Amino acid sequence: MELRGKKVIALGERDGVPGPALAECARGAGAEVVLTLTACYV
Residue ranges in contact with another protein by CB under 8 A = 1-13, 15-19, 21-22, 24-26, 28-31, 34-35, 37, 39, 41
Amino acid at 30: G
Closest contact distance (angstroms) between CB of 11 and another protein is 5
Closest contact distance (angstroms) between CB of 27 and another protein is 8
Nearest CA among 37, 38, 5, 16 for reference residue 27: 5
Closest contact distance (angstroms) between CB of 1 and another protein is 6
The H helix count followed by the E strand count for the chain is 1, 2
